[in-house]
Amino acid sequence: MTDQIHELVRERYAQSALQVLGNSGAPCCNEQGIGAELYSALERNQLPDAAVLASLGCGNPTAVAELREGERVLDLGSGGGIDVLLSARRVGATGRAIGLDMTDEMLALAQRNAREAGVTNVEFLKGHIEAIPLPADSIDVVISNCVINLAADKSAVFTEIARVLRPGGRMGVSDIVADDSLTAGQRAERGSYVGCIAGALSFSEYRAGLEAVGFTDISIESTQVVADGMHGAIIKASKPAIAPAAADRAGAADRPPVAAGCCGGDGCC
């Protein structure tokens, strides 16, 4: 099933990239008709037309990621590179923006866009977001634009995001999220998998998935309604600066020793 979903998504987005590479205009971005218009005119003017045309997302994660000079940013499912190029400008010459995509055609388009934009502090990697080809604790910020809902194994995606983020790192992604009341079947009735609807998690499922891999400071904010009970949303979360086990050990070291014959720090049995 995983391979089938990967191939379904790859075919859909390869067609979009080829359409842009062939100068045949903007692809139909998705079933919700959202994409490049979510970027400001100033942002769009900074980029090659092809990067803007290939925007297939449901938000603008670079607007909420609060990127800082010198940071390393990873964009999951980077497509034509619009968020990678915008991120590269925000982190400056001492930072780096990395795009990860599984589609050869999108990677070719993104690399062409980076050359045309004259942006050099970027790189594009081929791979699946369920198995990110980067070392642990190597990224400051993870962003993504309407891609996690397309993943075949979302728990693996959350695990990988937590792995590659350094302690104290953060994620800020745009995605499609469903009302908790909608079943998987009802989500599928509202749109296809490649249209970013059928594979969407609910609000509570998204939160639970992030909590399961240790994220804190989780917020999931609806920004627009894209179908009945389906929302474009901004999701933010942080990786603790100290791992929970280490935090427990640090706290234990600060506590006074328990007196002999006592069963706890608050008194004797």
Q: Buried b vs exposed e over 211-234: b needs ≥16 C-beta within 10 Å?
A: eebebeebebeeeeebbebbbbbb
- Give the Cα separation of 60 and 66 in Å (integer): 12
Domain annotation covers residue 165: yes
Domain annotation covers residue 265: no
pLDDT at residue 195, as a whole number: 67
Residue 170 domain boundaries: 2-252
pLDDT at residue 166, as a whole number: 98
Q: What is the enclosing helix (H) or strand (E) of 220?
A: strand 216-227
Nearest to 141 by CA among 87, 102, 207, 221: 87
Domain annotation covers residue 28: yes
Domain annotation covers residue 212: yes
Domain annotation covers residue 261: no
Domain annotation covers residue 187: yes
Domain annotation covers residue 71: yes
Count: domains in the chain: 1
- Give the Cα separation of 26 and 149 in Å (integer): 22
pLDDT at residue 65, as a whole number: 82
**Torsion sign across C-alpha atoms 115, 119, 124, 129:** negative
pLDDT at residue 127, as a whole number: 96
pLDDT at residue 1, as a whole number: 61
Note whether 125 and 100 are within 8 A (CB): yes
Instruction: Identify the CATH number of the domain in which residue 25 sits.
Output: 3.40.50.150
Domain annotation covers residue 51: yes
Q: Which residues of the chain have pLDDT under 50?
A: 24-36, 39-42, 44, 47-55, 250, 252, 255-269
